[in-house]
Structure 1
Amino acid sequence: MIRFVILVGFALLFAIIHQEGELNKYINTKYAYLSISAIVLLLILCIVEFVRVQLKDKAKKRKEEAEVKQVTANAGDHAKTCSHDDHDHDHAHDHEDEFGHSHEPKSRWKRSLGYLILFVPIITGIFLPVQTLDSSFVKAKGFSFPAELEGMSDGLPGEHQFLKPDSSVFYGKEGYEKLKNKELQEFAGSDAVTLDDSNYMKGMEVIYNFPGSFMGKTLTFTGFAYKGEQVDDTHYFVFRFGFIHCVADSGIFGMLVEFPQGTELADDDWVQVSGVLTSQLYQPFKQTIPVLRVTSWEPIPQPEDPYVYRNY
């Protein structure tokens, strides 16, 4: 019955996530059908488990009734049999104490721990609010990005990414080269590139893959500001949290932005920036990275969905 409760709990958790519109905080909404499929599968398993428990209980009840009838019909013979069986049972019990009794509590403890582990995500998912990622996630990393830009494509699926969206880990080398060149054609033909929610991830990846093709062009995008540990008062990073597939391979994507002198922004202030794409040496990375030199910007409210997703 505990397994039945666990299955119902997970089905309820997924249903609540869908009902409250929180699915986008866990996975790329392109894969919402997987969550719906999971709910259907869980409900089917709930029915199977419920039927299995009911059949097991009925079988146990029939067996007990049969034993009672046998005892009533063969009282004399059964008494002798019971006496003999009791002797064997005592012997078996002693044997179990000597050789295997200690394993039962251990097995029960492991099973109980396994059930507890399964209950934790159900309880936390249903009763605790979903936290929207913000600059505190960046601060927790100490702004020490784990890899240089050139090495970010060497990551593995499931690793958090920084600045540059990198979908190469989901393709072979040849397949990714074709994808890069195809997506370059979508952006390179225009002198002014605007990144919105639908193409933010794709556009950022193209710009980082082919920075020379965009130098001097106008770029417009939105995100939240993060000051970090900059050496001057004009540079802020502007980020969006994004999902390639799910939260496991999510990342903080954007670029360094040079604002006019005297600009004051707090972490998590949302802005729309527009400017000319340039590049400069960024000392913490010890390499040259794309930098947007702002020509105009304005504060904006946080979008209803602050995340962006990789669309292919």
Structure 2
Amino acid sequence: MIRLYILAGFSCLFLMMHLNGNLNKYINTKYAYLSESAIVLLVTLFVFEFIRLYAKEREANRRKTKELLGDEKVGGDDHAAHGHNHAHTHGHSHSHDSHDRDHEHHLHHAHHDHDHHGHSHDEPIRWKRYLGYGILIFPLITGFFLPVQTLDSSFVKAKGFSFPNFDASADNPGFHQFLKPDTSVFYGKQGYAKVSKKELEEFSNMKNVELNDINYLKGLESIYNYPTTFTGRTVSFDGFIYKGEQVEGNHYFVFRFGFIHCVADSGVFGMLVNFPSDATFHDDDWVHVTGKLNWTFYQPFKQTIPELTVEKWNSIPKPKDPYVYRA
């Protein structure tokens, strides 16, 4: 029965994510069909499990009814035959009493040993089963009762946004996803070169590179991959402000949290922005910036990174969906 409740719980949880619009907090919405398939599969398994339990309970009730009817019949036959068998049984009962007691004593010990043996084997199995149920129930409890948290600068601070290594790790591509979206770890060397050149064609002919919610990650990756192509061009995009301890003067990072596939490989992506001297911001302020793209050697990272020199900017409200996704 617990399995039935677990299947129903996960079905409702995935369905709730779709209905309340929170699915994009967990995965790239391009892969929404996976959760839809999961809902269909879970509902199908729920139906089969329900039918199995119903058939099992029905069979148990049928067997119980049959046993009760059998006991009533045996009881009636025994009463009718009691007079006939009494004399015969009385004559032989004394000769068999000792044998029967020995036989019952032997059966009692055998039954006791069997119970003890079964108990020692059932306990570990039962413990493992309950542990498995607990592992499955935990995400249901958190999914239903804990609010969905939107990523912001507090997550950047908690993670220790100090850029210890600018290189992405092929073994753990999500761990170092910052500033530059890097999908190279999902392709072979030749495959990635082909994909990146194809995506470059989408932006290389733009005099003014406008990064929006749809093309943000692709465009930003092209800028990082082909710096000379975009140097001196006008670039504009939306993002939230993050000052950080390593940024001085009127330089701020402007970021968007993005999902390449899901939250496991999510990252904070953007660039260093040089604002006018009269601009003052707080972390998590949302802005739209437009400026000229150049490159600078940033000592804390020991890397050359893009720097946008702002020509104009304006404050904007936080978007309904603050995330961007890899198209």
- Read off the aligned partner of 1:25 and give its amino acid letter: K
**Is the 1:207–1:214 Cα contact (8 Å) retained in structure 2?**
yes
Unpaired runs of at least 5, structure 1:
77-82
Q: Kindly tell me: are residues 132 and 46 of structure 1, through their superposed partners in 2, closer, same or farther at Cα, counting changes over 3 Å?
A: same
Which one of 176, 180, 196 corresponds to residue 196 of structure 2?
A: 180
Is 1:199 the counterpart of 2:215 in the alignment? yes
Residue 90 of structure 1 deviates from its aligned partner by: 4.4
Structure-2 separation of matches of 1:129 and 1:191? 43
1:1-312 maps to which residues of 2 (within 5 A)?
1-74=1-74, 88=107, 90-97=109-116, 99-148=117-166, 151-152=167-168, 154-159=170-175, 161-311=177-327
Residue 107 (structure 1) shift: 2.1
User: Which structure's CA Rg is the greater one?
Assistant: 2
- Cα displacement string for residues 143-194 of structure 1 (whole angstroms, at most 9, x for unaligned residues): 123521xx22635355461111111122121111100111111111122101
TM-score (norm 1): 0.90
Over the matched positions of the two proteins, sequence identity in percent amounts to 60
> Amino acid of the residue matched to residue 313 of structure 2?
W
Q: Distance in 2 between matches of 1:106 and 1:207?
A: 57
Across the aligned residues of Structure 1 and Structure 2, the Cα RMSD in angstroms comes to 2.3
Please state whether the residue corresponding to 2:119 is helix, strand or coil: coil
Mapped partners of 1:243, 1:20: distance in 2? 19
C-alpha deviation, 1:217, in angstroms: 0.7
**What residue number does 1:79 align with?**
none
Measure the CA separation in 1 of the matches of 2:37 and 2:27.
Answer: 14
CA distance in structure 2 between the partners assigned to 1:57 and 1:85 by the alignment: 34
From the superposition, tell whether residues 113 and 259 of structure 1 become closer, same or farther in structure 2 (CA, over 3 Å): same
Report the number of matched residues. Answer: 304
Cα shift at 1:238: 0.5
Distance change >3 Å, CA 85–CA 108, structure 1 → 2 = farther
Equivalent residues of 2:168, 2:176 under 8 A apart: no
Counterpart amino acid of residue 150 in structure 2: T
What SS does the corresponding residue of 1:52 show, helix, strand or coil? helix
1:195-236 residue CA offsets vs partner (Å, 9 max, x unmatched): 000100100111111112111111000100000013422111
Segment of structure 1 superposing worse, 55-64 or 185-194: 55-64
Partner of 2:92: none
Moved over 6 A (4+): 83-86
Q: Quick one: distance in 2 between partners of 1:160 and 1:288?
A: 17
Q: 1:80 aligns to what? A: none
Tell whether the 8 Å contact from 1:153 to 1:166 is kept in structure 2 after alignment: no
Aligned-partner Cα distance in 2 for 1:66–1:86? 30
Q: Report how far residue 287 of structure 1 moved.
A: 1.4
